[in-house]
Structure 1
Amino acid sequence: MSLRRQVLLFGVGGAIGLVVDAGVVQALVSWGHWNPYLARVVSFLAAATATWLWNRRYTFAQRHSGRSLATEWAHWIALMSVGAVVNYAAYAAILLFYPWLHRWPAVAVAASSAAASLVNFATARGVLFKRAKTST
């Protein structure tokens, strides 16, 4: 699969992750009355799991990690945590500068997600799914 196609599919996975991330954080804040900073930790785990499922099935279908599913998921979460640090820093800064977004954290999630996308793709492709699948 071409790099261009992988980037496109990774973008689709990112869009799915964004919907999950924003939906979970908004639901926890609006209905659960959670703190928007703590809610973001939970929403990250949900979104990262959704993107892992998408990307292992579609984006990196012709590549493998050489790990069990549980180990691969844990490695994915660890790698996506690098991008999450970038993402969370931008999210916190947005909430700091625009306090009215505490009621609408999904907006801050969307704005901060773009910053982490490139970091996430590079680590997913270059570290976890770095080997092409071979026929057995």
Structure 2
Amino acid sequence: MSKPVPRQFASFALIGVGGLFVDMAALAVALHLLGLDPYGGRVFSYLMAATFTWYMNRQFTFTGVSRRGAIRQWARFLAANAVGAVVNYGVYVLVLKVGPWVIAGIGLWPEGLTALLPYAGVAAGSVSGLVFNFVLSKKLVFRNA
């Protein structure tokens, strides 16, 4: 039996936070122990974090789905989350490009706080990527047969 969607989403988000720590730790390993450059190291850390989050979501978030075809499911998870990463980055760029116009237009944001706009973009991108990844994971990766 699967969990209700709000519980699944909370579990997915919590595992995503764990994945963030795995990502950072794997990047440090890649850079300092494996001698990879920042770009190759990022590919390595993404794969480690995505594998961690796939496994944890398979075990705890999307219970009740088939345990067969793990390699195919893992590949679908990587593909779905790569699409979510593009959404995340796109929203980040959108906030950076449109944010100053919105701020100037509504006049509610003090001019000195525009330096915080990139952080608002990261937050908005993370939230949009999270929602997108959850929906794709639920519908395409961890669906019932």
1:72 aligned partner:
73
1:5 aligned partner:
7
Q: Which runs of 5+ in 1 are unaligned?
A: 94-109
Identity over aligned pairs, percent: 36
Q: Say which structure, 1 or 2, has more relative contact order (CA 8 Å, 6+ apart).
A: 1
Q: How many residues were matched structurally?
A: 114
Secondary structure (helix, strand or coil) at the match of 1:131 reads coil
- For 1:2 and 1:55, how far apart are their aligned partners in 2? 14
- Displacement of 1:46 in angstroms is 0.3
Which stretch shows the higher mean deviation, 43-52 or 20-29?
A: 20-29
Please say if 1:121 is aligned against 2:142.
no
User: In structure 2, do the counterparts of structure 1 residues 40 and 86 end up closer, same or farther at CA, with 3 Å as the change threshold?
Assistant: farther
Q: Which runs of 5+ in 2 are unaligned?
A: 94-121
- For 2:137 and 2:53, how far apart are their aligned partners in 1? 11
- For 1:31 and 1:114, how far apart are their aligned partners in 2? 32
Using structure 2 for the length normalisation, give the TM-score: 0.65
- For 1:38 and 1:71, how far apart are their aligned partners in 2? 24
RMSD: 2.8
- For 2:24 and 2:17, how far apart are their aligned partners in 1? 10
- For 1:90 and 1:31, how far apart are their aligned partners in 2? 33
1:20 aligned partner:
22
2:144 aligned partner:
131
